[in-house]
Structure 1
Amino acid sequence: MAAEHKHSSSLSAKKLLFSILLNLGITLAQFIGGIISGSLSLLSDALHNFTDVISLIISYIAHKMARKNASISRTFGYKRAEIMAAFVNAASLIVIAIILIKEAIGRFFEPQAINSTVVIWLAIIAILGNGLSVLLMKKDSQSNLNMRSAYLHLFTDMLASIAVLIGGLFMKYYQLYWIDSILTIMIAVYLIVVGYKLLKSSFKILMLYTPTNIDVKKVVAKVCEIPAVKNIHHIHIWSLNEDEIHLEAHLDLHENISVTSFDVVLQKIEKLVNKEFNINHVTIQPEHNKPDSKAIIIQD
């Protein structure tokens, strides 16, 4: 079974690496083609592909690093590397998209002739390349969140390339060169929306916010239903990464019980919060009649 998992993991890594190399080639071709043809939408699609190449590289590194064990100097291992990189990538993506919009508005009022044939052929190449990557990643995306993220990036790349192809056809047969600016703005706005969502979600994780799908008061109410529990307070709930949610709290007990008895209570709490709130890492400090604040949230 372990050998099968290792083989599956190795195969997924190879698929990611192939997709990285393929999309890097597409990005380079689109960038050169965008300069030669004068198409801003092709350049913006090249940017989209490049940011997704970075995302694929992050996924590849995270896929490799996830298999590394924690150490004395890195007690959490490398579990947050992907989140930190996502935050930086999202911020830079928004800045570059805004620059593209500014340039596209200027070009809209002063349209420039564009080599639409180059745009069309490069868009077709990008669609075929991204389509192949999407097919390669589809199976793995159904069982792994990291691979699903990579799959979605590739899928949106394919959609953006289809938009560029449509624009190229309009320019070739109707000489509507201003459509290049419109498509650039549409792609840039889409990048801002996607980038903002990624920036917001990664920021919340880095700042140790309580996950949006967890109501702390409901957690307290559920835990207090356990007979031995008098009160749960001084609570911290945060996401270490996309897969790991931690709960840390002080637990006031009705009786001064033994460590063995407390272990039974702790197991009940762990099963409860995992089933009800998907919390998979629990650290509890047991107390009995300790004269401290019983507020749910206390500033450390």
Structure 2
Amino acid sequence: MLKTTQTSRIGLLTLVGLLLLFPTLASSYHGGIAGTHSHQGSSGQVDIEDVAKSGCLCHNEVADNSVQVILDHVPFAYEPGETYDLRLQLIGGPPATGTYTGGFSMRVTLGELSSEMAQNPEIDGAVDNQALTHTEASSATPDRAWEFVWTAPADAGAGVAYFYIAGNAVNGDQVPGVEDKWNQLNFGLNEGDEASAAMGTRTLFAGDGNVAPPEPDHHGVDLHHMGAKLRAHWLGLLGFGAVLGVVAFAGLLLRYGFSTSYKGRSNQLRLRYKLMRRGDQ
């Protein structure tokens, strides 16, 4: 009887532990997240129609402008059928103390998204090429940056392409908390022509603009790895030193070799100097 009671207690404690662990596992989406989603908020269950449009509400219920969502190489307008290489980066938020550093969920209304660093999620049994999210590998990127390709719609007259991007910077403990910060970047891209393509690209961002540049990986270059550049540097210094030596020698020669007031000059020069003075008289 006593043994059965102890076994029941152990089973109950194990069940409670699994129930406590389950929300953590369900709320940590380092393998990507997109589309509809439900989570338990402070006021009860919250149903999200699209994470890219609504934000990462499972980590925090409000967006935080201390996180900069930056999108590079954005055209001023798109040309039908063209492909654009874009770069998404998150700056700000908590320092990552664990393996995973951040992620994102993105949706476009026109065209298609693709990436070698991210994935098109499967929604309702089909791959959604207008949505993109991080992978488990890319959620561990140290710089919280992802590169992807957007292919504009092929047909002219498609209209405005809307982008919805939610970026989440986390501390890596895989537990939603107040330290995790997210923000959104939403914008529309008009259809253009060759004239707008000639304008180049731009950088769009959402946040308070308080961006600190990342620390460099190293602060110098090992001399053993400079190779030919180092040899050219030393040869240049040797050449410059040789020029200085020639100038100094010429100065000494002019000062002491032909000066009439130098006491250490040779007897031949003295005699010649005297003869020249007598001839002048």
In the superposition, the TM-score normalised over structure 1's length comes to 0.20
RCO comparison, higher one (Cα < 8 Å, 6+): 2
Which of the two has higher C-alpha Rg?
2
Higher helix share: 1
In the superposition, the TM-score normalised over structure 2's length comes to 0.21
Higher strand share: 2
